[in-house]
Structure 1
């Protein structure tokens, strides 16, 4: 699944599903999951809307409560900017009440391949900075600390060094907006298409160092980097000072851990030993549908968390 598909799915879930509906009680899924209710994980895994809707229903607030009951202590919501201000605040208030954290959302126009910061065009920079300003207000309402940015596609008519400098200068402008509010844009190198400018961990590390701001760091998505470069633990270690956020998904397939080739138990053990206290975003699909899929999802995370 590409980021665009995640965003599309998030937007579809947003409309009319935050306040409507009620959670389903007394199901076999509830009974089985109740055995580990409120047992937290060693790492802070963050599901997103729809992962537990077969049991909790389509009301996102009910689903968040159910996630909490299962032991999760954070959520992600790429499509948060598509929600109304009232919805954003209700989510933020519930998370605060439950002692949960809000993970990433995507900066408006911050993941658009056509809006390439590498091109150095003022029109693109203006769109990006507008998205940064909007993100500050969104973050206030939902208590977010991180927002995802993808700098867009290559500007292939320009030398790579010039493109990199253009990205750095645009990110410095965005950092000026984020820093006063304690908000961090996390740059995500992706594997969706070779047209994307930002693809590798060391490349993102170099850019973060050049920007030199606590508000510009790396979102390390192990699914994308398994496809792009492999050598996950070693490259995370080399670039560790600039990594502020982790996302996962197994490969091939972009489903939950244990369904592909990545040894997530070892990866998570390393993160734990490294002292990582941040969010681990569950930005992936599920290998099975319905309540069966929800049970398999929780079982997989209990397994890889048992290091």
Structure 2
């Protein structure tokens, strides 16, 4: 081959390589920046290495990564003006705000008793949550009923909790707020009354209100009972939200034994439109590479 033909052939090959590489890079960018199939919700400080400490900047960064939801367990504790800014930004970006913690008792039995002071405290928390919902358009308020009573028969405790939740539902329903009750595993949270999805389902069916549903934390339920997809299907009409974290370790999907890709595929096929809160740690630690790995983990789990 003479020099002129060689140069022409090399130039053509280089051009073809450049076009192919550009197309590949464009495909990769599209794959990594498009919206996820489901509403996975990072916390409002999940990307502090990239976006700083401002929750608003974190929310913007999350949206840029393709997330269509965020959540903040501590939303009720934020100043009202910050709550309003978070709610407005989430709405402007077309995102959804996941459940915030409204009531969580860890030390003593409260809602499993007939104590009028406990009911009054619950109703006060619901009123505050309703006000917060109006400021932010957050639709779900999380409730942990608290420890069981060692000197009271289990059925009485169930009946008391149902009664208290019915009272709470009456307040919440006026504004469209949904209280989501969360079963917790007995290893991380020993002594808690609400532990299993069938138990939560029984309680929600008895309350019989659209204002009281379940948040199914798949990390907790893998430890407590397993059969994750089976319980999702059986309790489907009472589930309003999900929390996720792999087990063991409570880290991002792909770090443990739970097949989250199959679970997410199952939820997608069922037409699930709610939020999936990323309530877990980061196995890579902190910093930009760790945050990038977090996004990549959800891209992998969302690849179905």
TM-score normalised according to structure 2 size:
0.88
What CA distance in whole angstroms lies between the structure 2 residues aligned with 1:219 and 1:116?
20
CA contact (8 A) 1:117 1:151 kept: yes
What CA distance in whole angstroms lies between the structure 2 residues aligned with 1:159 and 1:170?
17
Alignment correspondent of 2:118 = 124
Q: 2:234 aligns with which of 234, 238, 244?
A: 238
What CA distance in whole angstroms lies between the structure 1 residues aligned with 2:142 and 2:210?
14
Alignment correspondent of 1:173 = 167
Describe the superposition over 1:244-274 as per-residue Cα deviations: whole angstroms up to 9, x where unpaired. 1111000001010001110000111111111
What CA distance in whole angstroms lies between the structure 1 residues aligned with 2:253 and 2:109?
32
Structure 1 counterpart SS, 2:112: helix
Larger Rg: 2
Structure 1 counterpart SS, 2:141: strand
Distance 1:163 1:292, change over 3 A: same
Q: Does 1:284 align with 2:274?
A: no
What CA distance in whole angstroms lies between the structure 1 residues aligned with 2:107 and 2:96?
29
What CA distance in whole angstroms lies between the structure 1 residues aligned with 2:104 and 2:75?
13
CA contact (8 A) 2:44 2:56 kept: no
Alignment correspondent of 2:291 = 294
Q: Does 1:188 align with 2:185?
A: no
Q: How far did residue 123 of structure 1 move?
A: 1.4
Q: How far did residue 180 of structure 1 move?
A: 1.0
Structure 1 counterpart SS, 2:128: helix
What CA distance in whole angstroms lies between the structure 2 residues aligned with 1:171 and 1:90?
30
Q: Does 1:55 align with 2:12?
A: no
RMSD, aligned α-carbons: 1.3
What CA distance in whole angstroms lies between the structure 2 residues aligned with 1:176 and 1:91?
27
Size of the aligned set, in residue pairs, is 274
What CA distance in whole angstroms lies between the structure 2 residues aligned with 1:159 and 1:97?
50
Contiguous gaps of at least 5 residues in structure 2? 1-27
Q: How far did residue 156 of structure 1 move?
A: 1.5
Structure 1 counterpart SS, 2:46: coil
Contiguous gaps of at least 5 residues in structure 1? 1-32
TM-score normalised according to structure 1 size:
0.87
Q: How far did residue 37 of structure 1 move?
A: 5.9
Alignment correspondent of 2:40 = 45
Describe the superposition over 1:189-223 as per-residue Cα deviations: whole angstroms up to 9, x where unpaired. 00132300000000000000000000000000000
